Amino acid sequence: MGMTGLDVDELVELRTNGVSAKYVSGLHELGLKDFDADQLIELINNDVSPKYIAELRQAGLKDLDVDELVELSNHDVSAKYIADLRQAGLKELDVDELVELSQHDVSSKYILELGEQGLKDGTRLSGLAIPRPDDQRRMDGRHRRPFGAVSGDDLVGQDLAPQVRIAPFPIRGVP
Protein backbone atom coordinates (compact mmCIF):
# COMPACT_ATOMS: atom_id res chain seq x y z
CA MET A 1 0.00 0.00 0.00
CA GLY A 2 2.96 2.32 0.31
CA MET A 3 2.04 3.42 3.84
CA THR A 4 5.44 2.59 5.29
CA GLY A 5 6.99 6.00 4.59
CA LEU A 6 4.54 8.01 6.66
CA ASP A 7 5.86 11.02 8.47
CA VAL A 8 4.71 12.23 11.90
CA ASP A 9 2.22 14.72 10.45
CA GLU A 10 0.58 12.07 8.27
CA LEU A 11 0.31 9.65 11.19
CA VAL A 12 -1.31 12.34 13.32
CA GLU A 13 -3.71 13.29 10.50
CA LEU A 14 -4.72 9.66 9.96
CA ARG A 15 -5.30 9.15 13.67
CA THR A 16 -7.23 12.39 14.26
CA ASN A 17 -9.47 11.70 11.26
CA GLY A 18 -10.36 8.22 12.46
CA VAL A 19 -8.51 6.13 9.89
CA SER A 20 -8.06 2.82 11.71
CA ALA A 21 -6.10 -0.27 10.84
CA LYS A 22 -9.46 -2.07 10.52
CA TYR A 23 -10.60 0.50 7.92
CA VAL A 24 -7.40 0.08 5.90
CA SER A 25 -7.69 -3.72 6.23
CA GLY A 26 -11.24 -3.54 4.84
CA LEU A 27 -9.95 -1.67 1.80
CA HIS A 28 -7.15 -4.23 1.38
CA GLU A 29 -9.70 -7.07 1.40
CA LEU A 30 -11.31 -5.40 -1.62
CA GLY A 31 -7.94 -5.27 -3.36
CA LEU A 32 -7.59 -1.53 -2.81
CA LYS A 33 -4.06 -0.84 -1.66
CA ASP A 34 -2.79 2.23 -3.47
CA PHE A 35 -4.17 5.05 -1.32
CA ASP A 36 -2.03 7.73 0.21
CA ALA A 37 -2.81 9.32 3.58
CA ASP A 38 -4.78 12.22 2.09
CA GLN A 39 -6.98 9.87 0.05
CA LEU A 40 -7.71 7.70 3.07
CA ILE A 41 -8.69 10.79 5.06
CA GLU A 42 -10.91 12.01 2.21
CA LEU A 43 -12.65 8.63 1.99
CA ILE A 44 -13.30 8.30 5.70
CA ASN A 45 -14.39 11.95 6.10
CA ASN A 46 -16.97 11.42 3.36
CA ASP A 47 -18.40 8.20 4.82
CA VAL A 48 -16.96 5.94 2.13
CA SER A 49 -16.65 2.60 3.90
CA PRO A 50 -15.29 -0.66 2.55
CA LYS A 51 -18.87 -2.00 2.77
CA TYR A 52 -20.15 0.90 0.62
CA ILE A 53 -17.44 0.27 -1.99
CA ALA A 54 -18.28 -3.45 -2.05
CA GLU A 55 -21.98 -2.68 -2.53
CA LEU A 56 -21.22 -0.31 -5.43
CA ARG A 57 -19.10 -3.02 -7.02
CA GLN A 58 -21.95 -5.51 -6.69
CA ALA A 59 -24.19 -2.92 -8.39
CA GLY A 60 -21.77 -2.90 -11.33
CA LEU A 61 -19.63 0.14 -10.56
CA LYS A 62 -16.07 -1.04 -10.65
CA ASP A 63 -12.73 0.77 -10.86
CA LEU A 64 -14.01 3.95 -9.23
CA ASP A 65 -11.42 6.50 -8.15
CA VAL A 66 -11.46 8.38 -4.85
CA ASP A 67 -13.23 11.42 -6.31
CA GLU A 68 -16.00 9.27 -7.80
CA LEU A 69 -16.49 7.35 -4.57
CA VAL A 70 -16.73 10.60 -2.60
CA GLU A 71 -19.12 12.14 -5.15
CA LEU A 72 -21.45 9.12 -5.01
CA SER A 73 -21.38 9.04 -1.23
CA ASN A 74 -21.98 12.78 -0.86
CA HIS A 75 -25.07 12.54 -3.05
CA ASP A 76 -26.47 9.45 -1.30
CA VAL A 77 -26.20 7.23 -4.35
CA SER A 78 -26.60 3.72 -2.97
CA ALA A 79 -26.37 0.33 -4.62
CA LYS A 80 -30.14 0.00 -4.11
CA TYR A 81 -30.75 3.33 -5.90
CA ILE A 82 -28.63 2.13 -8.83
CA ALA A 83 -30.48 -1.21 -8.95
CA ASP A 84 -33.86 0.57 -8.83
CA LEU A 85 -32.87 2.86 -11.73
CA ARG A 86 -31.74 -0.12 -13.75
CA GLN A 87 -35.00 -1.91 -13.07
CA ALA A 88 -36.82 1.23 -14.32
CA GLY A 89 -34.86 1.00 -17.58
CA LEU A 90 -31.79 3.20 -17.02
CA LYS A 91 -29.05 0.64 -17.36
CA GLU A 92 -25.87 2.35 -18.60
CA LEU A 93 -25.40 5.34 -16.30
CA ASP A 94 -22.05 6.85 -15.43
CA VAL A 95 -21.15 8.45 -12.10
CA ASP A 96 -22.07 11.98 -13.24
CA GLU A 97 -25.50 10.83 -14.44
CA LEU A 98 -26.18 8.93 -11.22
CA VAL A 99 -25.25 11.99 -9.17
CA GLU A 100 -27.40 14.28 -11.32
CA LEU A 101 -30.43 11.99 -11.00
CA SER A 102 -29.94 11.74 -7.25
CA GLN A 103 -29.44 15.51 -6.84
CA HIS A 104 -32.78 16.14 -8.52
CA ASP A 105 -34.63 13.38 -6.65
CA VAL A 106 -35.36 11.38 -9.79
CA SER A 107 -36.52 8.04 -8.45
CA SER A 108 -37.32 4.81 -10.22
CA LYS A 109 -40.93 5.33 -9.15
CA TYR A 110 -40.97 8.70 -10.93
CA ILE A 111 -39.52 7.15 -14.10
CA LEU A 112 -42.07 4.34 -14.04
CA GLU A 113 -44.94 6.78 -13.43
CA LEU A 114 -43.89 8.84 -16.45
CA GLY A 115 -43.79 5.65 -18.49
CA GLU A 116 -47.32 4.78 -17.37
CA GLN A 117 -48.45 8.16 -18.71
CA GLY A 118 -47.03 7.34 -22.12
CA LEU A 119 -43.77 9.26 -21.77
CA LYS A 120 -41.16 6.87 -23.00
CA ASP A 121 -37.81 7.13 -24.75
CA GLY A 122 -38.10 9.11 -27.96
CA THR A 123 -41.54 10.56 -27.14
CA ARG A 124 -42.09 14.09 -28.44
CA LEU A 125 -43.74 16.51 -26.05
CA SER A 126 -44.45 20.11 -27.02
CA GLY A 127 -41.68 20.08 -29.59
CA LEU A 128 -39.15 18.56 -27.19
CA ALA A 129 -37.97 15.00 -27.32
CA ILE A 130 -37.32 12.64 -24.46
CA PRO A 131 -34.11 11.09 -25.74
CA ARG A 132 -33.46 7.41 -25.75
CA PRO A 133 -30.31 6.61 -23.76
CA ASP A 134 -28.69 5.18 -26.90
CA ASP A 135 -29.37 8.45 -28.77
CA GLN A 136 -27.44 10.61 -26.34
CA ARG A 137 -24.03 11.66 -27.48
CA ARG A 138 -21.30 13.19 -25.37
CA MET A 139 -19.45 16.11 -26.84
CA ASP A 140 -17.29 18.42 -24.79
CA GLY A 141 -18.77 16.91 -21.61
CA ARG A 142 -22.38 17.80 -22.54
CA HIS A 143 -25.24 15.61 -23.73
CA ARG A 144 -26.50 16.33 -27.21
CA ARG A 145 -30.19 15.58 -27.54
CA PRO A 146 -31.65 14.00 -30.68
CA PHE A 147 -34.13 15.81 -32.92
CA GLY A 148 -32.76 19.19 -31.86
CA ALA A 149 -34.37 18.86 -28.44
CA VAL A 150 -33.50 21.34 -25.72
CA SER A 151 -33.04 20.41 -22.10
CA GLY A 152 -32.61 22.45 -18.96
CA ASP A 153 -28.92 21.56 -19.03
CA ASP A 154 -28.65 23.29 -22.41
CA LEU A 155 -29.94 26.51 -20.86
CA VAL A 156 -27.98 26.52 -17.63
CA GLY A 157 -25.34 29.20 -17.71
CA GLN A 158 -26.74 30.76 -20.89
CA ASP A 159 -27.44 34.46 -20.79
CA LEU A 160 -30.88 34.63 -22.39
CA ALA A 161 -31.42 38.34 -21.69
CA PRO A 162 -31.04 40.67 -24.66
CA GLN A 163 -27.66 42.25 -24.87
CA VAL A 164 -27.74 45.96 -24.07
CA ARG A 165 -24.74 48.04 -24.86
CA ILE A 166 -24.24 51.29 -23.06
CA ALA A 167 -22.46 53.85 -25.12
CA PRO A 168 -19.71 55.66 -23.26
CA PHE A 169 -20.55 59.20 -22.35
CA PRO A 170 -18.22 61.99 -21.48
CA ILE A 171 -17.58 62.70 -17.81
CA ARG A 172 -16.98 66.30 -16.91
CA GLY A 173 -13.33 67.05 -16.52
CA VAL A 174 -12.22 63.80 -18.19
CA PRO A 175 -11.19 64.05 -21.84
Name the more confident of 12 and 161. Answer: 12
Mean pLDDT, residues 132-153: 43
Q: How many domains does the chain have?
A: 2
pLDDT digits (tens, 9 = 90+) for 73-87: 999 999 999 999 999
Of the candidates 10, 30, 45, which is a domain's last residue? 45
Residue 164 placed within a domain: no
Domain hosting 134: range is: 120-154
Burial, 66: exposed, middle or buried (Cβ in 10 Å; 0-12, 13-18, 19+)? middle
Residue 108 placed within a domain: no
Residue 84 placed within a domain: no
pLDDT digits (tens, 9 = 90+) for 88-97: 888 889 999 9
